[in-house]
Structure formats: C-alpha cells, structure tokens
C-alpha cells in the first residue's frame, strides 16, 4: 500500500468518543481548521522518512498528550516544537518547519502547555530509549493498534482504553501499515498490545510498557532486543 492511500484510509474513520487527528477539527483546543492538515503532513513526512525502517513498535491507543496534537504516535508536539529537554525534533522529522496544532490561547491549557505545547511521558521514554541504543530515528516506526484517540465523555483532554471492537478495527490499519514496511520487525509495547496482535495473527516481540513506573524495564528490554538483532 502507498503512504498516501494509507492516509486516506485513516481519514475516513469516525466513531463516537474517538478523535481522528488527521480529519477532525477540535474546536476547543485546536489552533484552527487547518490543524488536521498539519497533522496529516506530519504523519506523511514521518512515514516517508522511514521507508526502510527496521522496527515497528506498536502500543495500544493514541493519547491526547501525544498523537492527538502531533499526528504521530508516541510523539508529543513539544518534541516537534523543539522545546523538549532531551528529544530533538530532527530525530522525528529531520529538517521540517513544524507548526503546532494545539491553541496556545486555549484557557484549558496550563502555562507550560500554552507556551511549549503538550508533552507525553510515554513519548519521552520511548524516544530516549531508542536514542540510547544509537538507533537512528528513521529506523523505527512508532504506532498504535488503535491509531485514533479514544477519550472519555468528560472531554477530549482525557484518555480511555480502546474497546475490543476498536482494537479489532485498529488491527486492520496496523496490517495496512505493515505492508508499507514489509521487512520491519514488529515489537509490541505492553502485554495488552502483544495479546491483541497475537490474537489477530501478527507475530511480534514484546517489551514492557513504560507507563506506571516501567521506564527502566522498558529501556532494558529495548536494549536487550536491539542487541540480539
């Protein structure tokens, strides 16, 4: 499958309590109606830079602090804006004029979010772990089984666990992505992601999810995984 066709497939998905960052405009928190196009351009460039990726790291669902505003899984807009302490935007999109999509004047954002954009702890751990192993940014693709942002009824700045039917739908997109990177080794991030992939016939290695104090275990597992290759 070609990348542009894949992006068109992603844009067509819509469901209750799910935000599609590449086709939907978040009136409360987005900078403007151009936000979905900005996120689409980010993902398009991200995938094109990784046509020869060696690894496809797959977690469970997209988060509001990460892909909701950046358009890229496990990647915060603070990284892309160049405000992150340890991860540089060049690791993600090389030389690229990144534009934020969260509204810096939104009253629901705290001071640092207004000034520097959203930051996702998982994104920080994942990108740092890959950098510590000297894996070039373009050798790994980060993804989620359910590539869209599932949120709670309380509002868009929340996360919820994808439902089984959502994961079943998401696997279809994951398999589409696998055709773009046919030689990439699949690595599930977390036991839930691993179980879902295996249930749908996707063979994969597994590393612990970095959330809830698991950053050290995640980094160690990634180091061991890459050393065996």
Q: Is residue 77's pLDDT more than 80?
A: yes
Give residue 136's domain range: 3-228
Mean pLDDT of the chain: 95
b/e burial code for range 38-64 (CB count within 10 A of at least 16 → b): bbbbbbbbbbebbeebbbbbbbbbbbb
- 188 strand-pairing partners: 58, 206
Taking the model in full, what pTM does it have?
Answer: 0.96
Q: What does the DSSP assignment read for 101-132?
A: -B-TT-TTS-HHHHHH----HHHHHHHHHHHH
Q: What is the pLDDT of residue 114?
A: 96
| Alpha-carbon distances of 148 from 72, 73, 170, 221, 223, rounded to whole Å | 10, 9, 8, 26, 28
Residues in the chain: 229
Rounded to whole angstroms, the Cα distance separating 14 from 125 reads 30
Number of domains in the chain: 1
Q: What is the average pLDDT across 151-156?
A: 97
Share of the chain above pLDDT 90, in %: 93
Asked if the model's pLDDT at residue 151 lies above 90, the reply is yes
Buried b (16+ CB within 10 A) or exposed e, 205-215: ebbbbbeeebb
pLDDT at residue 35, rounded to an integer: 98
Task: Dump pLDDT digits (tens) for 170-195.
Answer: 999 999 999 999 999 999 999 999 99
Q: Quick check: 212 pLDDT over 80? A: no
Q: CA 28, 33, 34 angle in degrees (round to 5)?
A: 125
pLDDT score for 211: 85
Q: Is the pLDDT of residue 213 over 80?
A: no
**What pLDDT was estimated at residue 160?**
97
Q: Which residues contact 55 (CB under 8 A, 6 or more apart)?
A: 135, 139, 140, 141, 184, 185, 187
pLDDT at 96 over 90: no
| Angle at CA of residue 212, ends 209 and 216, nearest 5° | 60
CB atoms within 10 A of CB 67: 30
Query: Residue 229 pLDDT more than 70?
Result: no
> Which pLDDT value is given to residue 191?
94
Nearest to 24 by CA among 61, 66, 69: 69
Handedness of CA 144, 93, 111, 21 (dihedral sign): negative
Whether the pLDDT of residue 209 is over 80: the answer is yes
Which range among 1-5, 132-136, 154-158, 196-200 shows the weakest confidence by mean pLDDT? 132-136
- CATH number, domain of 212, equals 3.40.470.10
**What share of the chain has pLDDT > 70, as a percent?**
99
Cα separation, 218 vs 125, whole angstroms: 8
Q: What is the mean pLDDT of residues 151-175?
A: 97
Under a CB-based contact definition with an 8 Å cutoff, are residues 63 and 120 in contact?
Answer: yes
Per-residue pLDDT tens digits for 5-29: 999 999 999 999 999 999 999 999 9
* 3-state secondary structure (DSSP) of residue 207: strand
Report the pLDDT value the prediction gives residue 153, as an integer from 0 to 100: 97
Strand order in the sheet with 185-189: 140-146, 55-61, 185-189, 205-207
Mean pLDDT calculated for residue range 78-105: 94
Q: Is pLDDT above 90 for 51?
A: yes
């Amino acid at each position: 499958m070609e990348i542009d066709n894949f992006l068109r497939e992603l844009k067509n998905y819509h469901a209750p309590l799910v935000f599609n960052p590449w086709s939907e405009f978040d009136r409360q928190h987005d900078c403007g109606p151009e936000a979905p196009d900005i996120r689409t351009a980010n993902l398009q460039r991200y995938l094109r830079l990784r046509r020869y990726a060696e690894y496809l790291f797959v977690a469970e669902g997209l988060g509001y602090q990460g892909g909701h505003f950046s358009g890229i899984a496990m990647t915060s807009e603070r990284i892309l804006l160049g405000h992150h302490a340890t991860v540089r935007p060049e690791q993600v999109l090389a030389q690229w004029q990144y534009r934020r999509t969260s509204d810096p004047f939104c009253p629901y954002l705290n001071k640092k979010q207004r000034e520097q954009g959203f930051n996702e702890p998982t994104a920080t751990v994942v990108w740092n772990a890959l950098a510590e192993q000297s894996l070039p940014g373009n050798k790994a693709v980060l993804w989620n089984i359910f590539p869209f942002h599932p949120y709670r009824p309380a509002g868009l700045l929340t996360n919820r666990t994808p439902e089984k039917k959502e994961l079943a739908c998401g696997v279809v997109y994951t398999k589409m992505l696998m055709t773009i990177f046919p030689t990439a080794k699949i690595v599930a991030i977390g036991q839930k992601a691993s179980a879902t992939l295996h249930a749908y016939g996707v063979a994969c290695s597994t590393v612990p999810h970095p959330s809830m104090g698991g950053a050290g275990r995640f980094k160690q597992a990634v180091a061991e995984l890459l050393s065996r290759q």
